[in-house]
Amino acid sequence: MSDTTELQAKAAASRAELTATLDAIEDKFNIPKQSKLMVERAQASYERNPVPWIIGATAASIVVVGLMAWAIFSDD
């Protein structure tokens, strides 16, 4: 009887572990949920220290404007 109880307990533990693993995989591949988490992390980062975000946005704007000027005024 003890062997049956042990096997049932191992089976239940294996099922619980499999369920946890499948839930973790589902969370990883849930694109809307991952997008929401990424936005929340970015917002929290900006709220803690906005300076790097402002510098990054300024640098990206300069690059875009420079590429547009290069495309317009180049001698192609």
The residue assigned the tokens 């420079």 is 66
Long-range contacts of 26-32 (CB under 8 A, 24+ apart): none
| Residue-wise DSSP of 35-49 | HHHHHHHHHHHHHH-
Reading the chain (76 residues) residue by residue, the pLDDT tens digits are: 578 999 999 999 999 999 999 999 998 999 999 999 999 999 999 999 999 999 999 999 999 999 999 999 987 6
Q: Which two tokens stand for residue 22?
A: 């499948």
The C-alpha atoms of residue 33 and residue 41 are separated, in whole angstroms, by: 12
pLDDT (0 to 100) of residue 1 = 54
pLDDT (0 to 100) of residue 68 = 96
